[in-house]
Chains A and B, each alone.
Chain A
Amino acid sequence: QKEVEQDPGPLSVPEGAIVSLNCTYSNSAFQYFMWYRQYSRKGPELLMYTYSSGNKEDGRFTAQVDKSSKYISLFIRDSQPSDSATYLCALGGGSARQLTFGSGTQLTVLP
């Protein structure tokens, strides 16, 4: 079993839809949670990060963490074609501060 599981998609939605992206994890040692957006052939771009359970909102993006269920989500409201990318969840913890990534979900927002 992988430490972090992420639905690979692909996911295709119409413009304006609400998108829900999810990851589950097995290691309780993870202490901080991030979402990255990666356009084709580019490096990952940090979207959201949080250190605790609950919701964190930034514009059209909401990150949700449920440590008791070991489940994290990213919601995108009013999705735009420019949101089309691969979304990666990343979890960290411990002294080395290495990140463990999900496999990524490929999202396409259709105009």
Chain B
Amino acid sequence: ETGVTQSPTHLIKTRGQQVTLRCSSQSGHNTVSWYQQALGQGPQFIFQYYREEENGRGNFPPRFSGLQFPNYSSELNVNALELDDSALYLCASSTTEQGVAFFGQGTRLTVV
């Protein structure tokens, strides 16, 4: 069984730039969620995708956007990067039948 994989593992961007992070869901999972984890904090829910539609969103501005593809993989896009966007970005996959989420290793984004 293939787990959740994310790419890239590390990324450095300049303030004002745009970034795209990618995630491949665990086999058999149709729902993908994205979380932001600042240093020393628990993950914060950004949004969730199911059947290629956004299915819930946390308290994040519209410059955070996403996509889910027919194969259930997903992208997180962040426009107009700010210094405070520096964090570990986590992708999690699950099924609609269970609330249990399985996480990838994360992408560490540094904005300078």
Please report A residues at the B interface, Cβ cutoff 8 Å.
Answer: 4, 6, 8, 31-32, 34, 36, 41-46, 49, 88, 90, 92-93, 95-104
Contacts and interface: CB of A to CB of B under 8 A. Distances in A.
B86 interface: no
Interface stretch (B14-22, B66-74, B77-85, B101-109): B101-109
A98 B105 contact: no
B62 interface: no
Interface of B: 4, 6, 31, 33, 35, 40-45, 48, 55-56, 58, 88, 90, 92, 94, 96, 99-106, 108
Given A32-B100, A98-B33, A98-B58, A42 B105 contact: yes
A41 B40 CA distance: 11
B42 A88 contact: yes
A99 B45 contact: yes
Contact of B108 (A31, A41, A44, A102): A41
B42 A97 contact: no
Contact of B56 (A96, A102, A104): A96
A44 B43 contact: yes
Given A96-B48, A96-B56, A100-B45, A46 B100 contact: yes
Contacts of B44: 101
Nearest to A6: B42
Contacts of A49: 100
B14 to A, nearest CB: 22
Contacts of A45: 103
A88 B44 CA distance: 12
Nearest to A45: B103
Contacts of A32: 99-100
Given A97-B31, A99-B33, 14 more contacts: A34-B100, A36-B103, A41-B108, A43-B4, A45-B103, A46-B101, A90-B101, A92-B99, A93-B99, A96-B55, A97-B56, A98-B58, A99-B45, A101-B42
Contacts of B6: 43
Contacts of A8: 40
B48 A97 contact: yes
